[in-house]
Amino acid sequence: MSQRNEAAEDAELTIPGRTPAPSGLMTASPNASEESEQGSMNPRDYVSSLARGLEVLRAFNRTGRKMTLSEVASETGNTRAGARRILLTLVHEGYAVADGKLFDLTPQVLELGYSVLSSKGAWEIARPFIDHLSEEIRESVSAAVLDNFDVVYVSGAQFHRVISVGISVGARFPAHCTANGRVLLAAQPKEMWPGILQSIPLTKMTERTVTDRVEFRKVLEQVREQGWSLVDQELETGLMSIAAPLRNASGGLVGSINVGVPTVRMTAEELVEFILPKLLGTIEKISRALKH
């Protein structure tokens, strides 16, 4: 293909609009003002091809499955030719694989976020406390941050038993049906709640998942009032989790810490009675350590 034709084809590619999240819940998009080199971005600095490549990566995350070239193009709003160039570039760089007609991401994509997540000072400080809690209660413990309407896991300790809960760093789950997610959503400023409740996808993951928006608001209000969240088999049947927020020295929200337990080993009442006090105690120790 000639450079002229390729440029013309690129001009036809569109960047699909993402569902706008409430202010502060997500990072911002390109801005037309030009105040300074350190300020808002000049539109001329916006790299459309990079944005289209990132949208392809997000498309795989949204669908959670392998996709054909046509499916990628449809999901992202790109032309087939544009989507093909992006996919082949990802394959060449090791971030995707092609299996016949299907494309899929490789674990190498975790490199894009893992170094940032794992290098955060707060989680380096928190890690020994998380490890100790896991050993003490003989259950898996994880920490997460909010990314739009998902939670992304940034640290954790897996306790290996015959039946255990294991979540790796970089894993992403819907916030509405996880204890970590509800804690982080409930901690958002109250003025953001209407936008959150209107925009968040309340996908039904199990028969227990709360999908009614009025009921979900009541859930968030309860979590905010009591300071912790317990989710009983709303993400996955047979799995319970309990979480509480972690704040820094100034009271700012750092993330949340969660204990996951199979329902065959413990009831919800036992989780609150025996695990919650140890979880809150651990979070308090981490918060104090962050002040030093």
pLDDT of res. 113: 60
Distance of alpha carbon 152 from alpha carbon 166, whole angstroms: 14
Q: Which domains does the chain have, with CATH numbers?
A: 3-105 (1.10.10.10), 112-290 (3.30.450.40)
- The per-residue pLDDT for 160 is 55
Give the model's pLDDT for residue 163. 46
Predicted local confidence at residue 41, as pLDDT: 58
Q: CA 178 to CA 223: how far, in whole Å?
A: 12
Structure confidence at residue 209 (pLDDT): 96
Q: What is the pLDDT of residue 37?
A: 44
Phi, psi of 2 (to 5 degrees): -75, 160
Residues of the chain with pLDDT under 70: 1-42, 107, 110-120, 159-168, 292
Q: How far apart are CA 240 and CA 233, in angstroms?
A: 6
DSSP state of 94: T
pTM: 0.61
pLDDT at residue 276, rounded to an integer: 97
Name residue 174's amino acid.
P
- Please report the pLDDT score of residue 100 as a whole number: 80
**CA-based nearest residue to 282, from 234, 250, 242, 251:** 242
For 226, residues 6+ apart whose C-beta sits below 8 A from its C-beta are none
